[in-house]
Amino acid sequence: MWGVIEIICLISLVVFSYLWVDPAVTLMLAETKPELKVLIEICNWGNTHRQLAFWWWIAVIILMLGFQLWVLNQKKREWKKTGLVVLLTAIGYPFLSRDIFGYLFGAKMVWQYRVNPYTVMPQVFMDKDLWLKFTYWVDRTYIYGGVFLAYSLIPMVLFGGNRFLLNLFGLKLMNAVLFGLIGVGLLRQEEDKARVWSYWWFNPLLIIELLINGHNDVLMLGLFLLAAGWLKKKKFWGSVGIMIASVLVKYASVIMAPLWFLKEEKREWLAKTMILVILVFLAIRGGHSWYYTWIFLAVPLANLKKSSLAITEIFLAGVLILKYGGFIWFNRWTNIPYLPDYSWFYWLGPVALGWNEWRRSPVTIKTSDRS
């Protein structure tokens, strides 16, 4: 029953994403594909039924959270078919972020315009490229590492610089394959596979940010977790090389560099500490929802109690509801009337997680005792 509900929610998310296609994208595509003008009517419906869309969003996130918590407490169950549907959410439109368009245009600058995106700003091509009608941050040079630039060049090389849809969904499907490979790797490493199915495969935050919105954090996470696995297997220098590659995707993974200077028995402690550090940092500084994916640099290494995982999952679902609910209803990111000041909420995660994980004696608890 729960599995069917989850699949319905996943399909619903994909459909929901197309209510918010950027009008500039629709107008550009309609010039060569007139049948896509139907997207204008779909978007008009979304904009005129924002309150209904808001409750749709709330219901989907709560149901997905319920399934996630249920899976966490299952024994000896496999969810391969549902996991496949998770990967297919990559065909959704990146409705809550435009970052992926910046990734694509950075690659286009290299492949089609033959310029260095680290020294040339996209706005130079404003009068000649329609992609810039819906791309943000055109007034700054490329901010990501060279490894990710090379990765995002793959669909550009395969399909050319003028095929927007093939580049967009080519990159998103690459992310889906990578997401699946990370999940398979985690399943092989973890004895309690229900934990991995819960915190990775069926995590609404990761599904929305890494698969639907297509953020490059998925490559950063994948390379880092591979590096951590090699370190555990005593392949020190190989793991260092992969770790550097992770940092050269998005520099956030550098915060886990101390892992390479600690003895194995201390690494679990570092992972737990870094989860709290990231959560506290985001509570102080604020930031976009996808920044919370950074805690998954550490979650697979932290050996959290199941109750701590549950607290984390509930908190992240709350972040999704608060961060995006206001945009969906009111079409803005700040000054949300239904909850005028929810900055306090972002402290609930680190406080509840820290108290739950360390409320007992600080003596290390064996893996077999975790429950």
Contact in structure between 346 and 305 (CB atoms under 8 Å): no
Kindly write down the DSSP assignment for every residue of 131-147, as one continuous string: GGGS-S-TTS---S-HH
pLDDT in tens, 208-234: 999 999 999 999 999 999 999 999 998
Comparing 17-26, 39-48, 85-94, 263-272, the range with the smallest average pLDDT is 39-48
pTM greater than 0.85: yes
Report the chain's terminal Cα–Cα distance, integer Å.
25
- Residues 320-334 have a mean pLDDT of 82
Q: Residue 169: pLDDT above 60?
A: yes
- Residues 300-324 have a mean pLDDT of 94
Contact in structure between 111 and 161 (CB atoms under 8 Å): yes
What's the CA angle centered on 59, arms 350 and 203, to 5 degrees? 45
d(CA 259, CA 279): 19
- What's the token pair of residue 241? 């090389």
Would you place residue 339 in the very low, low, confident or very high pLDDT band (cuts 50, 70, 90)? low
d(CA 208, CA 292): 12
pLDDT in tens, 175-198: 999 999 999 999 999 989 999 999
d(CA 181, CA 133): 34
Q: What φ, ψ does residue 356 adopt, rounded to 5°?
A: -70, -40
Q: Residue 311: pLDDT above 60?
A: yes
In the chain, the amino acid numbered 61 is: I
Select from 192, 300, 212, 184 the least CA-distant residue to 11: 212
Q: Residue 302: pLDDT above 90?
A: yes
Comparing 12-26, 27-41, 274-288, 330-344, the range with the smallest average pLDDT is 330-344
What burial letters (b/e) apply to 259-271, b meaning 16+ CB within 10 Å?
beeeeeeebbebb
Residues 6+ apart with CB under 8 A from 114: none
Q: From residue 227, give the alpha-carbon distance in Å to each of 70, 72, 188, 222, 257.
A: 31, 26, 15, 9, 11
pLDDT of residue 322: 87
d(CA 114, CA 119): 12
